[in-house]
Amino acid sequence: MKLKFHILKLQMRHTFTIAHGSRDDIDAFIVELQDGEYSGYGEATPIPYYGVTAEGMRDKLAEYQSIIENYDLQNPEDFWTLMYPYLKDNPFAHCALDMAAWDLWGKKQGQPLYKLWGLSIDKVPYSNYTIGIDTIEKMVSKMQEFDFPIYKIKLGTDHDVEIVKELRKHTDALFRVDANCAWGVEETIKNSIEFSKLNVEFIEQPMEKSAYAAMEEVMKHSVLPLIADESCIIEEDVKKCFGRFHGVNVKLAKCGGLTPARRMIAEARTLGLQVMCGCMTETSIGISAIGQLLPLLDYVDMDGSILISNDPATGVYLDKGKPIFPNVNGTGALL
């Protein structure tokens, strides 16, 4: 295999604000694995508050370029296991490599990845469209720009209930809310009651990521389902969420790729937890990888490629929230 790196600047369609901060652009780190006529693509978005940069991911993988290029890719799971000791401290880089390996393997097998996993896309969940924190007027405008049946509303202000009440006046669509760790116990419980009156489906990550004990108290009183995001990063976190959340949101970049994500989904099901897969701000490469997991999910947030204005790739895309799969093998991604 030949290993190539691409670092591209993605421009946000609108300034994107969550409880952690705002951004107008972001780098995309893309890994390309070439083998003869086939190229497999993988991606991970650097996150400043995680201390992850595109250059850092590139340099990390470059350290092990000879191991990667000399590997005979027969089973991407075995490849993930081989690389884990080297990349365990950089799951974002591992994700990009793992995603590229699965894409390449699927293309060489001549089938879409979900088919090789024995899955069907006849019935898959619709994606939400994410509305970042802004003035209410601008949030309404963003919501009206894309006609989706589900919107995820980023919260973490001192007037969160007011925001949702105002947005509700402009659509009958289903809402999801994501506080990104911004609330406390009483605020979460109180908001769950208010939001239950406003056709909100669930609350994502209401409190600080390590507040597992406090989440047990919230679970007793919340009238809406609670989905873990920052509290469920790696495989070991799934068990920690049992009894504290109703479900988990699996992020490929944070857990290390498709390989551990599939294991996390399987464990969550064993524990009776609901499963969501979420995206970062990313190109159609990352979104297409998430698309392969859709038959395994209850919920999905895969709008990352439409939050940017200059997607350089093609692949699985959304038509008013409905995932559309291209006639391309592997993950379906092309650069």
The pLDDT value recorded for residue 50 is 79
- CA pair distance 111, 109, nearest whole angstrom: 6
- CA pair distance 288, 296, nearest whole angstrom: 15
C-alpha 126: how far from chain center: 14
The pLDDT value recorded for residue 87 is 98
The pLDDT value recorded for residue 291 is 98
The pLDDT value recorded for residue 20 is 64
The sign of the dihedral angle between the CA atoms of 139, 142, 148, 152 is negative
Given a contact cutoff of 8 angstroms between Cβ atoms, the answer to whether 98 and 259 are in contact is: yes
Q: 113 — phi, psi (to 5°)?
A: -60, -40
The pLDDT value recorded for residue 122 is 96
Structure tokens at 166: 């105002």
Ordered per-residue pLDDT tens for the chain, 335 residues = 999 999 999 999 888 777 667 778 899 999 999 999 999 999 999 887 778 999 999 999 999 999 999 999 999 999 999 999 999 999 999 999 999 999 999 999 999 999 999 999 999 999 999 999 999 999 999 999 999 999 999 999 999 999 999 999 999 999 999 999 999 999 999 999 999 999 999 999 999 999 999 999 999 999 999 999 999 999 999 999 999 999 999 999 999 999 999 999 999 999 999 999 999 999 999 999 999 999 999 999 999 999 999 999 999 999 999 999 999 999 999 99
The pLDDT value recorded for residue 47 is 82
Choose among 237, 235, 299: nearest CA to 264.
Answer: 235
Rg (CA), the chain: 19
The pLDDT value recorded for residue 19 is 62
The pLDDT value recorded for residue 7 is 97
Choose among 331, 299, 280, 43: nearest CA to 151.
Answer: 299
The pLDDT value recorded for residue 23 is 79
Amino acid making up residue 65: Q
